[in-house]
Amino acid sequence: MDWLDFLMVRFPVSGVETWVLLPPLVAFVVSTFTSMGGVSGAFLLLPFQVSVLRFVTPAVSATNFVFNIVAIPSGVYRYVKEGRMAWPLTWVVIVGTLPGVFIGYYLRVLYLPDPKAFKFFVGFVLLYIGVRLLYEMTERSQRGKKEMKMLEERFNQHAKSIKGSRAARISAGLPPEAEVKTISWSLRRVEYEFWGQRFSFNTMGMFALAFVVGIIGGTYGIGGGAIIAPFCVAVFHLPVYTVAGAALLGTFLTSVAGVFFYSVMPSTMPCAPDWFLGLLFGVGGFGGMYVGARLQKYVPQKYLKLILGLIITFLAGSYILQYLAG
């Protein structure tokens, strides 16, 4: 009992009182499983803070952004080092989401300060993510991913071929065709090459998507990677290997902007993040993302996405029903 009392901490900014090891432990477990499914853990950590820790002021959104800031850099570094960062896509996503985050801040503070209304909004965001994960289990979704699977197989085959020796891994790296090469970039269209194939997207269409995602992410307290990445793959038909890095970096920079807006903009309510609580979540998420990346190849993706989809959809339904029940 004495040890439990010793570990109990009260976070002055949020008013949360809990065991100091609980936030990093929860973030570690959540990030381990969600990263294996290709989904950020931030969208699940916010419901945990709201429903379990009773952290319900707008500051919870800012604190969730702190988690992203701490947990994401390791993943961004890996994509940049491997040459898998589609920079034109990244910059369009960033330019689109930043003003959206600013608008999202005002929506959160002015129209969704009430915990009940905010949970209703969170429920719809979670519902989209959950349904999207379940949809990826269907035959129709799988048929549309054949080309992406071919790219993935080619990438994995090369990865296996350079595992023969440590020297080979260091010297060979990725072949030139496995790096993202920008072909053209304009306000109308962006085109790049990956694994000898060319991919393109409408610049303004991607900007509009990023802007809407920025509003949702700024209100919720997530960077929006879990929303924008599936759209890039399903609607714009871009390979997931080139989308992931852009989504991660976009999430990181919009999270930095989100923390800034919530910290410095005038408000009658507490909006600045609880830095200590956010850092604890971030440390756990940093470790969980690393472990998840290592374990991903051992866990069947279809079962993982099914479990995540069911849990998220159930949580979304409970939030929406709570609001409708009055």
Tokens of 221: 């307290």
Cβ atoms of 250 and 228 closer than 8 Å: yes
Sign for the CA dihedral angle at 325, 268, 211, 314 comes to: negative
**Looking up tokens 């694994």, which residue turns up?**
195
**Rounded alpha-carbon distances, angstroms, from residue 228 to 247, 250, 298, 307, 322:** 7, 10, 26, 21, 28
154 within some domain: no
**Looking up tokens 């952004």, which residue turns up?**
65
Residue 22 has what pLDDT? 95
Ramachandran sector of residue 224 (left: φ over 0; alpha: ψ -120 to 50; beta: rest): left
CB atoms within 10 A of CB 117: 12
Residue 184 pairs with which residues in a beta bridge?
A: 191
φ and ψ at residue 297, rounded to 5 degrees: -70, -15
14 within some domain: no
160 within some domain: no
Tokens of 111: 């129209």
For the whole prediction, is pTM greater than 0.85? no
Number of domains present in the structure of the chain:
1
Return d(Cα 172, Cα 219) in angstroms, integer.
44
Give the type of residue at 119.
K
Q: What is the mean pLDDT for each group of 10 consecutive residues in the chain (326 residues)?
A: 70 91 94 75 90 92 92 79 82 92 92 90 90 80 62 59 47 59 90 85 94 92 81 80 82 90 83 94 89 73 78 90 85
Tokens of 94: 């960033």
In which domain, by residue range, is 235 found? 21-146+180-324
Question: How far is CA 64 from its chain centroid?
Answer: 11
Contacts of 281 (CB under 8 A, 6+ apart): 23, 24, 26, 27, 45, 63, 64, 66, 67, 70, 71
DSSP label at 109? I
273 within some domain: yes
**Rounded alpha-carbon distances, angstroms, from residue 135 to 139, 296, 309, 313:** 9, 20, 9, 12
